[in-house]
Every structure is written in structure tokens, then in C-alpha cells.
Structure 1
Amino acid sequence: MSAFPQFSLDPEQAARRDRLRDLAETRLRPLAEKGEPGRVNRPLVEALGELGLLDGLFTAGALDLCLTRESLARGCTEAETAYALQGLGAYPVHAHGPAALRERWLPAAREGRAVAAFALSEPGAGSDAAALALRAEPEPGQAGTWRLTGEKSWISNAPEADFYTVFARTTPDAGARGVTAFLVPADRPGLTGTPLAMLSPHPIGTLAFDGVRVSTDDLLGEVDRGFGVAMATLNRFRPSVGAFAVGMAQAALDATLAHTAERDAFGGKLKDLQAVSHQVAEMATRTEAARLLVYAAAAAHDREEQGIAGRAAMAKLFATETAQYVVDTAVQLHGARALQHGHLLEHLYREVRAPRIYEGASEVQRAVIAKQLYATAPSPKETA
């Protein structure tokens, strides 16, 4: 895997980043604060649509997605999450859906009037997406019709979404090759759901399918090719998960710089203590390194270079692990006040843990990186 090019934002991109952060703080955060934790915040999703931000989920390159997600996360993590979840749920319809489904659902999704969800994970199939057990059984006597039976779990925006991109097994014992993607409206008979109380305040729940009827009209892509639909969607958004993490890390760093410069301790300011200033320097260095890795991976994705999967995995791995470190260190330097409910860092501390698990846990990212490294490594003869 070759070294990444140096990367920095041009003036126009930097200005857009600042505008987005300002929008997140002034327009979106007040809406987020009025929402109920663990529930879909429809006014927030609608505001993202009114601001024209949701269009970018379908049209923007990876670099622009990263810029948007970092900026939103720095100013309002709830807005960033609502933005990303809308993309995960609706992008398969945009990229793989027939014209009828695109015309029915995408205008409302772009405007924030219809909430989307990506239903991949199951109680026994999280990171191992090829182990899906939700059954799509052919309906006797009706060609091109199936009944979905089984469960999905840890589904963001469930059970309140308006439509779901659902991955089900159409061919038993076929692994990744026997999965099909369907668009399932929330009001389809037999579909029910239950919200889950999670560490982070995201809307997450379970879905139960009791003979839910789907047909070829609901197909996203081809029968038994749904695993490719899932991976294409995750590969599009995976680099920008790192940008989400960078935004949280930067917010924690900003708060720490302000706090340590103002807080009196031991006859001076906290920032004058070498133990403190060195920790802040480490936080800043790791955050900038994560940012560069994320944006370089996104730029490579937009240039359609080789090795994108490994680069995206590196970016997500390093950025999410870095954000965990930076937020934890920020809490330590703030002391007990950061543990109070409602404090920015208390909020970030609950938010920052999940990205190390979803869209491929850190361990999965390491496996992806290692696989690509060994696949592209020179043979022993070439190194002799």
C-alpha cells in the first residue's frame, strides 16, 4: 500500500467547512436540544433537507461527505448522525433501485420528509454480514414474491423510519452470495419494531418480520446480489465515519484548550503545567493525523485509486480510536464537571464509543487492512 499524498483543504473548502459548523451550532443544535434522546428527530431531519444538505448524500464525492460530516459533528453531533443515517438508508435506493422506487421515495428523503434506515445487522450477524439469517422465502404459486421472516437488531432510526433498506437471505447456505436487498415501507403488514435504550442517544431499535410480503417491485439490485449493495453503501460512507470521529475529537480539543487556558490551579493556569500542556499537544497531533488520513483516503476514493478498501479501513480505524482517546483525555483534564449530565464532554463521551463498533468494528478494519497488505506485498523473490 503506497504512502498517502499530503492533503489540505483549499480556501473554498475551508470556507464551506466554517459555514457548515456555524449552521450546525446556530440552526441545528437548537433543534437537536428539543429532541428526545433515542428518538428520530424529524424537525432536525427536515432542517437538513431545507438547508440542501441531504442532496449531497447522493451526489457529493467522498471528500465533500467527509467535510460535511466533520463540520456537523464539531457543531452538533445529533445533526451529523441524522445526516449519516439518512444516507445509509436511502443511498441503496438511489444507486440500485428501479425508477419507480427512486421516484416514490428519494424526493421525500432528500427533503427530509421521509426518514430512511439501513437494516443489515441481526442478533447473530453484526460484523459478519454474510451470516444473515432473515429469511426471504418464495411465496408458493406467486413468482417474484417472497415472505420475510426473522429479526433485525441495532438498526438506526428503527422502529420510526418511513422505509428500510432490508437485507434478507434468498438462498440458504450460500453465504454472501445468497443475500438480496429490498426496500420495505414501514407500513408493510407484518413489520413491527421496538426501540432500544443504548449508551449513545441515537435512535436505534429492533425489527421483527412476520411474513412481510415483498416482490420484484421492491428489489434493490438483483436477487442474491444484495451483499454487493450493502458493501457498496458501506464503502461509500466508511471513510466519512472517520470524519465524524475527527469532528468529535476537534470539539473535545476546542473545549480543552478553552478550559485549560482559563482554569486556575496550583498558582497558575492549567495550561502552564507541563503534564497538561503535553497532553493537549498529543491530543492535537493525533487529531490532525486522523484528519489527514481521513481526507487523503477520501481524495483517493474520489480519484478511484487502487486500494480504497484498505485506505478507508485505516481512516476509520485510526480516527475512531483517536477520537476515543481525545475525548477521554479531555474529560480527565476537565475533571468532575465533565461528568455532569448535559456537559459537552459528557455528551461526547457517550457518542464517541459507538463508531468503533458500527459499520465494521475496529477489529474488522484491522482484518481488512491486513488482507490488503498481504495481497499487495511483494513476493519473496522480489525482495531478495
Structure 2
Amino acid sequence: MADRSFLTWPFFDETHRARAEAMEGWCARLHVDHGDIDAACRKLVADLGAGGWLQATAAVEGERLDVRTLCLSREILARHDGLADFAFAMQGLGTGAISLFGTPEQQAEWLPLTRSGQAIAAFALTEPQSGSDVANSTMTATADGDDYVLNGEKTWISNGGIADVYTLIARTGEAPGARGLSAFVLPAGLPGFEVVERLEVMAPHPLARLRFTDVRVPKSALLGAPGEGFKVAMAVLDVFRSTVAAAALGFARRALDESLARVTTRQVQGAPLFDLQMVQGHIADMALDVDASALLTYRAAWAKDMGAPRVSREAAMAKLYSTDHAQQVIDKAVQLFGGDGVRRGEKVEELYRDIRALRIYEGASDVQRVVIARQVLAQG
């Protein structure tokens, strides 16, 4: 069983501990069929909704997003199944802008559906020429009477092709660069909106390239004011970047658990593998990385929940450290498993594929270093 002593840390209260306990029980009965990824994600969203777990992914009027709850949920789900974590995470990321900036009408239309698992959400930010450089987005939204007309492409969009609702960023042109972007919410299936490519990756989940050709949306689809799209996107990432660290932490914790089971049962020259001092060194390093990641992750989540307006530095540190070091923990686990570590069907092989994308999306590791350095300079 994974170490749960961290739940006694002062970052958490009884509601967090109760949720962790209940979610562990739910995950113990979880079985995910990875044969059909689209079908698996649809079922996971429905099951997570039916279980009440998706209520935490969005906040309606009078509520607030609790980042510690989001992080705990992602850590636990990721430790059990990477696709389950993905399904949960995208419901939050896909509706984050609606929670933070949506009108009461927009929230009433979509959040009951996404929080109950009746609608799947997506966040369309990345474009072919602009990944972490959001200010370089070129997709346009041109005002035309009571509507905006969308033209352009989005790519690497999680849940692309199966989502029911998309929040996206497009250029409305109020000013150059970041100040000329706006955020919108729109349903799938509008005329001129098409999925032009499904993207296959090493840890399969729904990904697509989307094209918008003269797609008309009413001006009521705006999230926030015109020209606030960059602000909206950064506010969403400021909340959810810490949860990426939590998912990496879940993967790392599972790798450590699998490794402990391996080295205490595998015999080498008549003794457990764990008796080798080099193996003990690897286990110590893995445990250190897990605990350090947990401290950084839940510090960032706690700071946001305590009312910090922005946690750019804390969230960037958590994501950078947790994702990079989860990669190292899992690599050690593969090494400890020997040939079995790269065998299809072994959990550590699955984790090896699962972790890599986390060091790229929602701000690649080197981008996080830039964010941290700029924050340190500004605060100094």
C-alpha cells in the first residue's frame, strides 16, 4: 500500500483526508479497458461523475476551486490508472475558464453537465506554431454583428474529437501580442468546426488537431472581456499546473511501490534483491524524490487555497521538480525490474510511457525554469 502519512501534514484538513480515503476505496474497484481509448474515456467521465468525484473540478457561483482536492484526486487516480487521471483532469482544465470567468448563464449551461459526467470538456489553447508561447496565437475571432467568426487551427488538444464543450483562445485584435486575445466557450458540432487529425502518442489518450472555418459563435460565448484571453488562460494554468505535479507524484509513488514489492521478493544469489546496498541507494533516492515532490506540490496547492492571487513561482517549481524527478524515479523502477521493466503489460513499463508527456504539456520543463527565474528576479 502506498505511503499515506503525508495526509497528516498541515496542508490538509479533515475533508481532504476523508476524500482521499473514499477515493482510494473507489479506485480499488476501478478497472479500465485500454483497448478503445475513446470509449474508455467516455466511460471514465461517466463513472467519475456518477461517483460524485467531478464536483471538485468546477466551481459555480458561491463556491471556489479547492486546489488541494484537485491535487489529491489526481495523485490518487494517477497512482491507480493514468487514463483515469486524464479523464478527471480534463474535466477541470476544460471548464476552468468557465469556473473562473464564466457568466452565471454560462456556468448554469455547462458546469452541471461536466460535473455530473454528462458532458466531456476540452481546453483548446495550443496551435501549430504556438505551444508554450500563448501570446503568439494566430487563430482569429472577428466581430461580425452579434457574432464572432472563428478561423484557424488548434492542435494537441486533449479530448479533441470526443468533447462536448470546448474553451479556446483566439485573436480578437484589441492590441498586439497577448493583449489581443480573447477566450470563448462553444459546443462541439458547430458548422465549420472539424476534427482534421487524431494524434497517436506513446501513452494513448484522445488527442486531435482541430480546424475552424468561418465558425460563428454569439458574443455571449465570450469568457471575460474582449482582450482578456491571455489573462484567462494564465489564470486557468495557475490553478491547474500544480495538479500536473500531483499526477506526476502519483506515477512516482506507484513506481516506488512496485519497486519495493520487486526488490523484497526477487531473489539474487539466495537473498532478496533489497539486500544489495546499491539497490537500497536507489530506493532511498526514489523515496526522497517522492517526498520532495509532495512537499512542493502541496505547498503550491495550499498557497492558492489560502488566497494567494497568483502562485506562478510555487506552481512552476512543483511542476518542474515533480515531473522531472518522477521520470527519474520511474526510470530507476524499470532498471530494478530488469528485462521485465520494458515488457509490455508490466506496470512500470506503462508508467514509463505515461510520465513523459507531463514534462511537456501545460508548460515544458525549460519554460518552467524561465518562469521561476523571472519570479525570483522580480521578488528579489
TM-score by length of 2: 0.92
Would the aligned equivalents of 1:7 and 1:296 in 2 still touch at CA under 8 Å?
Answer: no
Are residue 270 (structure 1) and residue 273 (structure 2) matched? yes
Q: Are 1:98 and 2:103 matched, yes or no?
A: yes
* 1:19 Cα deviation after fit: 2.8
Give, in whole Å, the separation in 2 of the partners of 1:40 and 1:158.
14
Q: Please, which moves more after superposition, 107-116 or 10-19?
A: 10-19
Which residue pairs with 1:353 in the alignment? 356
State the distance in 2 between where 1:301 and 1:276 align: 38
Q: Call closer, same or farther: CA 1:39–1:130 in 2, change over 3 Å.
A: farther
Trace 1:1-384 onto structure 2 (pairs within 5 A). Answer: 7=10, 9=12, 13-26=16-29, 28=30, 30=31, 32-33=32-33, 36-37=36-37, 41-59=41-59, 60-139=65-144, 143-171=145-173, 174-193=176-195, 194-305=197-308, 308-377=311-380
Please give the secondary structure, in 1, of the residue aligned with 2:37.
coil
Contact 1:40 1:157 in 2 (8 A): no
Letter aligned with residue 121 of structure 2: A
C-alpha displacement at 1:25, in angstroms? 3.0
> Aligned-pair distance for 1:304?
2.3
Indicate the RMSD between aligned Cα atoms, in angstroms.
1.8
Query: How far apart are the structure 2 equivalents of 1:67 and 1:216?
Result: 37
Check conservation: 1:21, 1:75, Cα contact below 8 A: no
Larger mean Cα displacement after TM superposition, 268-277 or 90-99? 90-99
Question: C-alpha separation between the residues in 2 aligned to 1:190 and 1:40?
Answer: 28
Write the letter of the residue equivalent to 1:364.
V
Amino acid at match of 1:178: G
Q: Report how far residue 11 of structure 1 moved.
A: 6.3
How many residues align structurally? 366
- Between the two proteins, what is the percent identity of the paired residues? 43
**Native 8 Å contact 1:134 1:149 kept in 2:** yes
Q: Residues of 2 paired with 1:329 and 1:18: CA distance?
A: 29
8 Å contact 2:124–2:167 — kept in the other structure? yes
Structure 2, unpaired ranges of 5+ = 1-8, 60-64
CA deviation vs aligned residue, 1:243-292 (integer Å, no higher than 9, x gap) = 11101000000000001100011231110011111101110111111101
Equivalence for 1:3? none
Name the CA distance, whole Å, in 2 between partners of 1:8 and 1:274: 34
Assess if the C-alpha contact under 8 Å between 1:40 and 1:160 holds in 2: no
Q: Does structure 2 conserve the Cα–Cα contact (< 8 Å) formed by 1:22 and 1:75?
A: no
Inter-CA distance 127–40: structure 2 relative to 1 (3 Å threshold)? farther
How far does residue 361 in structure 1 lie from its aligned partner after superposition? Answer: 0.7
- Which residue identity lines up with residue 46 of structure 1 in the other structure? A
TM-score (ref. length: structure 1): 0.91
- Runs of 5+ consecutive residues of structure 1 not aligned to the other structure: 1-5, 378-384
Letter in 2 for 1:62: V
Superposed CA deviations along residues 186-218 of structure 1, whole A, max 9, x for unmatched, are 110000012110122121111011111122121
Distance 1:15 1:168 in 2: 41
Q: What is the deviation of 1:9?
A: 4.5
> Separation in 2 of the partners of 1:319 and 1:34?
26
Residues 307, 58 of structure 1: alpha-carbon distance in 2 compared, 3 angstrom cutoff: closer
Name the CA distance, whole Å, in 2 between partners of 1:121 and 1:348: 25
1:14: how far off? 3.8
